[in-house]
Amino acid sequence: MNSHLVVASPPPNPKTLSKTEYFRREILETALKHFSLYGYEGASIRRIAQELNTTHSLIIYHFSSKDELWRATLEWAVGDYVQSTLNLLRESPDTAATTLRKFIERFVRLSAQRPEIHRILTMAGTQQDSRIDWLIETHLKEHFDFVVNLIRQGQQEGTVRVGDPVRLYYHIIGSAGTLFTLSEEFQLLTGKDVFSETEIYYTIAFIFDVVFEQNRRASP
């Protein structure tokens, strides 16, 4: 595996934000945690306000409803990642397999930085409502189509294992996200910190071994 791993885009420096922007960011950070822990129905703006030591009405001033807050949170957490990733990969002059490796590295690191995203998407994906429809159409569909097409191209090149590209896509997403969402269980069972640089490296390497033919032939 390439020793230089692609790092997900770092968050902006809080010192460069205005007080209003910084407060909105704090709301989104806290909302991300609450939506991931309690789901949409279980999350409460009042509970979010309590954690931030502010008022319910002040959060409503910035985000008029829980639905708007949920969408703004996912726009902030997922939307920026999707667009920056697609822009990066589309500009890549590499083969489909090399570009797919870059995607896997980047997605694993995002999952390590924000495991809440995987939890929220897992919960949202089990419910058919306007929120998941919005998320798919706004962010996930373009991401899905691009990566599945990369997998197909890699299969045509002979560098990616043969199989249903859609299921292989979900295998990558699941392998990248699940360990970080179950980090406490993983540590209790193995004694290892899945967020450590070593374990992140091993997670990426394991996905490579499953996805790419060269890695599979080289594995014992």
Question: Is 45 contained in some domain?
Answer: no
Question: Is 26 contained in some domain?
Answer: no
Question: Is 21 contained in some domain?
Answer: no
pLDDT at 15: 58
Cα 91 from Cα 113, distance rounded (Å):
24
Residues of the chain with pLDDT under 70: 1-17, 125-128, 215-220
Closest CA to 206 of 167, 166, 179: 179
Q: Which domain holds residue 104?
A: 68-218
Cα 92 from Cα 73, distance rounded (Å):
29
Question: Is 206 contained in some domain?
Answer: yes
Question: Is 3 contained in some domain?
Answer: no
Residues 104 and 211 sit within 8 Å (Cβ to Cβ): yes
And the tokens for 207? 């996905």
pLDDT at 208: 96
Counts for the chain of helices (H) and strands (E), in that order = 13, 0
Cβ atoms within 10 Å of 64's Cβ, excluding its own? 10
Question: Is 182 contained in some domain?
Answer: yes
SS3 114: coil
Question: % helix / strand / coil in the chain, to the nearest 5?
Answer: 75, 0, 20
pLDDT at 121: 84
CATH number of residue 151's parent domain? 1.10.357.10
Domains: count for the chain? 1
Beta bridge mates, 180: none
Residues 109 and 101 sit within 8 Å (Cβ to Cβ): no
Cα 202 from Cα 192, distance rounded (Å):
12
pLDDT at 78: 87
pLDDT at 13: 52
Which residue matches tokens 């910035």? Answer: 62
Closest CA to 170 of 107, 217, 99, 120: 107
pLDDT at 14: 53
And the tokens for 98? 């090399």
Closest CA to 155 of 167, 143, 173: 167
pLDDT at 7: 37
Closest CA to 197 of 114, 85, 113, 98: 113
SS3 163: coil
Question: Is 166 contained in some domain?
Answer: yes
Question: Is 132 contained in some domain?
Answer: yes
Beta bridge mates, 160: 212
Cα 103 from Cα 113, distance rounded (Å):
15
Torsion sign over Cα 36, 37, 41, 45: negative
